[in-house]
């Protein structure tokens, strides 16, 4: 599904990614762990095409297509979704209008008719139940006045609406209490199909108790330095990153 080769990227003048290689197959869940500032969020932003980041070298292929030739919205239409670490508030744009614009833009890109208003609201209702998000939030502006937990739940709701094939969960567990974490993770698991792949960025084992990864990577100083099975995440939870750094030295 996703194939990243020798990826270098910078923000401003600062090189953050220094040759990342990563392959994610259909249906696989990969966890990405790493120290603060290692480049985890940079990697996810580069994959979704945040214009603030510049790729200087390397390739990203998504289902055979050169991702770096596509703009942000085209990547979204191709089925890439990112759950933001800090979801953005958009005053004055209601959740309903925002969602309708997003859903219909993707449908248009896929050559489908826009959803009729009644059908759209029906889909909204169904997906809302799936992630247990309150109807009253739908009438508000996007993320405005949402609690931290509501914002994260709203990300999973949007994922449900857009039905992506590749999801990035960028520190979705940060700022969530145990119950909220469970609801968000269970929501994600309910939405998964056999083909859905994901890259789960986290500092903690806890999220991975709910979303079981097939592969775990460790990113340090802009490079993936270790790849292993789920036990690698547990080892990091228990021992931190120092042993890895020593191993590298």
Given the rule CB under 8 A, which residues bind another protein?
Answer: 48-52, 71-73, 76-77, 81-82, 84, 87-93, 97-98, 101-102, 105-106, 109, 141-142, 158, 162
Q: How far is the CB of 76 from another protein (least distance, A)?
A: 4
Residue 101 or 248 with smaller CB distance to another protein: 101
How far does the chain reach from its first CA to its final CA, in angstroms? 33
Residue 138 or 232 with smaller CB distance to another protein: 138
Residue 141 or 234 with smaller CB distance to another protein: 141
Residues whose CB falls within 8 Å of the CB of residue 147, separated by 6 or more in sequence, listed in order: none
Q: How far is the CB of 200 from another protein (least distance, A)?
A: 17
- Kindly report the three-state secondary structure assignment for every residue of 77-88: HCCEEEECCCCC
Q: How far is the CB of 91 from another protein (least distance, A)?
A: 6
Output the CA–CA distances (angstroms, integers) from residue 210 to 156, 186, 200, 220, in the order listed. Answer: 15, 7, 11, 25
Q: How far is the CB of 227 from another protein (least distance, A)?
A: 27
Strands 80-83 and 90-94: unpaired
Residue 34 or 49 with smaller CB distance to another protein: 49
SS3 state of residue 9? strand
Inter-helix orientation angle 148-162/178-191, to 10°: 0
Residue 26 or 108 with smaller CB distance to another protein: 108
Q: Please give the angle made by the CA atoms of 112, 28 and 127, to the nearest 5 degrees.
A: 45
Q: How far is the CB of 220 from another protein (least distance, A)?
A: 27
């Amino acid at each position: 599904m996703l194939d990243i080769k020798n990826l270098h990227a910078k923000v401003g003048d600062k090189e953050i990614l220094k040759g990342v290689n990563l392959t994610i197959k259909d249906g696989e869940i990969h966890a990405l762990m790493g120290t603060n500032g290692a480049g985890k969020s940079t990697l996810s932003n580069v994959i979704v095409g945040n214009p603030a980041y510049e790729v200087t070298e390397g390739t990203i292929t998504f289902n055979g297509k050169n991702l770096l030739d596509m703009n942000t919205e085209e990547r979204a239409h191709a089925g890439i979704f990112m759950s933001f670490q800090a979801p953005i508030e958009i005053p004055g744009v209601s959740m309903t209008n925002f969602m309708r614009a997003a859903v219909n833009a993707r449908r248009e890109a896929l050559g489908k008719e826009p959803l009729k208003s009644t059908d759209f609201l029906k889909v909204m209702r169904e997906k809302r139940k799936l992630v247990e998000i309150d109807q009253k939030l739908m009438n508000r502006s996007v993320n405005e006045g949402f609690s931290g937990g509501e914002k994260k739940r709203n990300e999973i709701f949007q994922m449900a609406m857009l039905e992506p094939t590749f999801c990035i969960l960028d520190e979705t567990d940060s700022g969530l209490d145990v119950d909220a974490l469970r609801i968000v993770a269970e929501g994600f698991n309910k939405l998964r199909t056999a083909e859905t792949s994901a890259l789960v960025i986290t500092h903690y084992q806890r999220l991975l108790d709910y979303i079981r990864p097939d592969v775990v990577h460790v990113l340090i100083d802009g490079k993936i330095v270790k790849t292993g099975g789920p036990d690698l995440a547990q080892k990091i939870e228990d021992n931190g990153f120092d042993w890895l750094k020593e191993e590298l030295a």
